[in-house]
Amino acid sequence: MARLAPAVLVHVAHAVTDLEAALNLLKGLLGGETIDAGAGGGLGYVDLGWPGQAEAGRLRLLAGDPVVPWVGSQAGRLHSLCFRMDDPSTVAGAVAHPGWWEVAPAPPLGVRLVLIERDAPVPVVT
């Protein structure tokens, strides 16, 4: 049987209630740098990286109305892990979305997996 290439961690997404406070901590105190940012549909995101780190393994902050139910009364909550891989459709339980696949979080404290093909753009998942 052929061995598949390992998945690559693209980012860890963390949903927050106060994006400015999260940026003050992660950029100001911990030296993160903004790599990408965007907004739409009531959601804002900022991708952070750290000097000397590869493209993979970034931290994505999510804030806005679409993630409020996920965060609840907390200041923040782990939202999802995004991985690049050869064939996301082969992962048990993965549900196809346009351009990506999702493995839903297991209640009550699970985290969703966002799976994308090696050359696919990184989606903004709410």
Give me the residue spans of the domains in the chain: 8-99
Where is pLDDT greater, at 56 or 105?
105
Over the chain, what is the mean pLDDT? 90
| Contact call for residues 77 and 15 (beta carbons, < 8 A) | yes
80 touches 111 (CB < 8 A): yes
Q: How confident is the model at residue 55 (pLDDT cuts 50, 70, 90)?
A: low
Read off the tokens for 2.
């052929």
- The average pLDDT across 77-87 equals 94
Res 2: pLDDT: 60
Superfamily of domain 8-99: 2,3-Dihydroxybiphenyl 1,2-Dioxygenase, domain 1 (3.10.180.10)
Q: What is the pLDDT of residue 60?
A: 95
The pTM of this model reads: 0.87
Q: What is the DSSP string of 84-116?
A: EES-GGGSTT-EEETTEEEEPPPTTT--EEEEE
Whole-angstrom distance, CA of residue 48 vs CA of residue 23:
9
pLDDT in tens, 19-36: 999 999 999 888 899 999
pLDDT over threshold 60, residue 1: no
Q: Which of 71, 85, 80, 87 is nearest to 104 (CA)?
A: 80
Measure the CA–CA gap between 109 and 47, rounded to whole angstroms. 23
